[in-house]
Structure 1
Amino acid sequence: MNDIQHQAEWLTRQIMQELAAGKNPAPLMIPVGVSNRHIHLCREDMDVLFGYGSTLTRMKAVKQPGQFAAEETVTLRTQKGDIPNVRVLGPLRNTTQIEISVADSFVLGVKAPVRMSGDLHDSPGIEIIGPKGHVAKPHGTIVAWRHIHISPQEAQLHGLRDGMEIDVQAEGLRAGVLGHVVVRVSADAVLELHIDVEEANGFGLRNGDLVYRINPTV
């Protein structure tokens, strides 16, 4: 049994004990993960950009299990401008997805919608330049919607469901409320709020800072 399974079983026991004792769970404190512009590649595009059969080189792990930042980078290009050194995140996916900031969309001259990962319908296209070739994508460029990764056990403890939206409070000199934070429940998730660099700067947040859920009044 791995550490994640042990943690899940321990948390489940804690939840059941608190529910049995009639206790209210402690406020949900959520670590922040700040996401810079990056790209997820499919196998076909990886072959074109980095060579047939190429693989991603792990540079460092990110918090969500199995995911990592790769050493490989690409350039994003439109008729208006370029953004070089855009990090590839692994592992490979079924569909290529480009995640940029609102400021990046001005540089590139595209109207990237604020979307959840995987919702690429009617999103703008872009050209991706790699060391071995280039790919012109007809769509796939988005600004990532702020969201929380959470395990089923923690979600149950705090009355959360996959897909629901909650508000969270950031403290400090630039304190404020982040609204419409989408909850994403998955079996192997590690609790984390994902926001982009612009949102982090606006609230004075850095990786590892804590925010907390504002409990609904009704």
Structure 2
Amino acid sequence: MTMLAPSQTGPNGRLARDQIEAVVRAVLARRLAGESSAGLQRSVTPGPTKPNLVVNISARHCHLTQKTVDRLFGPGYQLTKMRSLYQETDFAANETVAIVGPRRRVIPDLRILGPCRDFDQVELALTDAISLGLEIPVRLSGDIEGTPGALLVGPKGSVELEKGVIRAERHVHMNPDHAAYYGVKPLDRMNLRVYGRCPTTLEGVLVRVNPAWKLEVHIDTDEANACDLTRADKVELVKP
């Protein structure tokens, strides 16, 4: 997290947009020069069960349209793959952007996930949003009407999103065979039990079904830290 210094404000105590972008690009340049390939997601798998369940921690990231990528990185720019995600239709891109919130604070390393979509969406943990000064709702991916926006800054330009910043609702990806095994259907709710040093049950995990999907639960970094997921002994998905 980066804070814009008071000395960088104008006579009325507020930053002009071009000043914000200049500061953010300077931060981006430093980050890109020494950026590590730290992972977007970490996972915990349970003991021997059928089917095999994976729980991944989804760190803050964004999904962008090609039009927005063009404005942030230059006309015709194509995202480059850093690695495939567990759901192999998606990938973590090498590219990141900065997001600027109302508190003049900046997160300079918001990872882009590809491929491009037909809408812009930013997914943050609650602590990220609080730091930026944003009040974000818990929403299913794609349900962005009535959500707040934010300023995104890239190497070649900026985009002021009018909407699209959410906290992603905890959910499970599964295919029809998994749904039959658990006896659930799309938009049902399940509970995720985490066994370990911080035993926890995360309720209301939303079921999403697609023939191409592997069995995978997504929770955000706040939820994962609360239950110490990376040190968990076992995870279990159950009907309430």
Shift of 1:211: 1.6
Aligned equivalent of 2:96, options 73, 77, 80:
73
Q: Which amino acid aligns with 2:86?
A: K
| Alignment deviations for residues 99-153 of structure 1 (CA, whole Å, 9 cap, x no partner) | 0111111111110111110010111010000001000011100001100000111
Distance 1:39 1:208, change over 3 A: farther
Aligned to 1:157: 181
* Greater relative contact order, per chain length (Cα 8 Å cut-off, separation 6+): 1
Partner of 2:224: 200
Q: Is the 8 A contact 2:95 2:111 kept in 1?
A: yes
Indicate conservation of the 8 Å contact 1:65/1:188, yes or no.
no
Cα deviation for residue 65 of structure 1 reads 1.9
Asked if residue 114 in structure 1 is aligned to residue 121 in structure 2, the reply is: no
Aligned pair 1:125/2:134, yes or no?
Answer: no
Contact 1:150 1:192 in 2 (8 A): yes
Shift of 1:208: 9.6
Aligned-partner Cα distance in 1 for 2:217–2:233? 10
Residue of structure 1 aligned with 2:72, choices 30, 49, 66: 49
When normalised by structure 1's length, the TM-score is 0.83
Aligned residue identity for 1:132:
K
Deviation at 1:64, TM superposition (A): 0.4
| C-alpha distance in 2 between matches for 1:118 and 1:208 | 30
Residue identity opposite 1:176 in structure 2 = T
* Pairs within 5 Å for 1:28-107: 30-80=53-103, 81-107=105-131
> SS state of the match for residue 74, structure 1?
strand
Tell me how far 1:171 sits from its aligned partner. 0.3
Alignment partner, residue 189 of structure 1? 213
Q: Once the 2 structures are TM-superposed, how far is the Cα of residue 206 of structure 1 from its aligned partner?
A: 2.5
- Structure 2 CA distance for partners of 1:28 and 1:207, relative to 1, 3 Å: farther
> What is the Cα deviation at residue 29 of structure 1?
5.6
- Cα 1:210/1:40, change in 2 over 3 Å: farther
Once the two structures are superposed, residues 49-101 of structure 1 have per-residue CA deviations (whole angstroms, 9 ceiling, x without a partner) of 01111111100111002111000000001231111011000010000100011
Deviation, 1:30, is: 2.3
Q: Which residue of 1 aligns with 2:29?
A: none
Greater shift in the superposed pair: 206-215 or 142-151: 206-215
Preserved CA contact (<8 Å) 1:149 1:184: yes
Structure 1 outlier segments of 4+, above 3 Å? 26-29, 207-210
Q: Name the stretch that deviates more: 193-202 or 77-86.
A: 77-86
Amino acid at match of 1:47: D
| Alignment-derived partner of residue 174 in structure 1 | 198
Q: In 2, are the aligned partners of 1:65 and 1:190 still within 8 Å (CA)?
A: no
SS in 2 for 1:189: coil
AA matched with 1:87:
R
Which ranges of structure 1 fall in alignment gaps of 5 or more residues? Answer: 1-25
What TM-score do you get using the length of structure 2 for normalisation?
0.76
Deviation (angstroms), 1:202: 0.6
Give the conservation status (yes or no) of the 8 Å contact 1:112–1:143: yes
Contact (CA 8 Å) 1:27, 1:213: kept in 2 or not? no
Q: Determine whether 1:213 maps to 2:231.
A: no
> 1:137 is matched by which residue type in structure 2?
L
